[in-house]
Each structure stands twice: as C-alpha cells, then as structure tokens.
C-alpha cells in the first residue's frame, strides 16, 4: 500500500507570494491533518479535514487555509508569505480519528526569501 505522498518536496518562494502544497493520503484514509515544523516550535497543528470538512483548526493566522477533495486528497495554501513561514510542512492521514494509526508523509520544505 502506498504511503502518504506530498508534493512538491522542496519549494522556494519570496515574501508576499502565495503557495499551495498538496497531500495524497493512504488509500482509504479519510482524515488528513497538516502540521508545521520549525526548529524553535516543533510540530504545530494547522488543521484537520475529514470527508471534505474542516473538523479542527490550530492557532494560525487566516493566511493559512486548506481544503479536502472528494478523493480525500488535500491542499493547503499560504498567502502573503512571510519569512517566518519557512518550515517543513507535514501532512498525515488516518482512517478516521487522529489516533495511533496516523501516518505522516515526508513533508514539503518551504523556504521564503
């Protein structure tokens, strides 16, 4: 069974631009969560989607948004990029709840110049 895939793996943007990251969950998984990892803050929860609905959202500004499609694939968008948005963005999928069966993708490394 294929794992969680994220595209692109690496991305370089400049301040003020916007970016869209993509995540394909494991086949059959309906819950997709997004996390931001930075050296100083560890993994921080961004949002979680289940059946195309956002069920939970972390403490991030409105510049961070996401969506989930009917095939469970998910995208997250960051608008008006800031230098501090440079991070590893991780996507994780699970069948339903975000329990121990949550599988992570390799992440997208975003660098904002």
Partner 1 sequence: DQQVKQNSPSLSVQEGRISILNCDYTNSMFDYFLWYKKYPAEGPTFLISISSIKDKNEDGRFTVFLNKSAKHLSLHIVPSQPGDSAVYFCAARNQAGTALIFGKGTTLSVSS
Instruction: Please report, as ranges, the residues that interact with partner 1 according to CB under 8 A.
Output: 4, 31, 33, 35, 40-45, 48, 50, 55-56, 58, 90, 92, 96-107
Our CB check for partner 1 shows the closer of 28 and 39 to be 39
Q: Over the chain, what HEC string results? A: CCCCEEECCEEEECCCCCEEEEEECCCCCCEEEEEEEECCCEEEEEEEEECCEEEEECCCCCCEEEEECCCCCEEEEECCCCHHHCEEEEEEEECCCCCCCCEECCCEEEEEC
Query: To the nearest whole angstrom, how small is the minimum distance from the Cβ of residue 95 to partner 1?
Result: 11
Query: To the nearest whole angstrom, how small is the minimum distance from the Cβ of residue 15 to partner 1?
Result: 26
Our CB check for partner 1 shows the closer of 16 and 61 to be 61
């Amino acid at each position: 069974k294929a794992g969680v895939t994220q595209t692109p793996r690496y991305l370089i943007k400049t301040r003020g631009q916007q970016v869209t990251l993509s995540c394909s969950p494991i086949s059959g998984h309906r819950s997709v969560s997004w996390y931001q990892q930075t050296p100083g803050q560890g993994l921080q929860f961004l949002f979680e989607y289940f059946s195309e609905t956002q069920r939970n959202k972390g403490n991030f500004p409105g510049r961070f948004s996401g969506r989930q499609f009917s095939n469970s694939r998910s995208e997250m968008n960051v608008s008006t990029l800031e230098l501090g948005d440079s991070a590893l963005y991780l996507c994780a999928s699970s069948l339903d709840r975000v329990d121990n069966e949550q599988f992570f993708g390799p992440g997208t490394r975003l660098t904002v110049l």
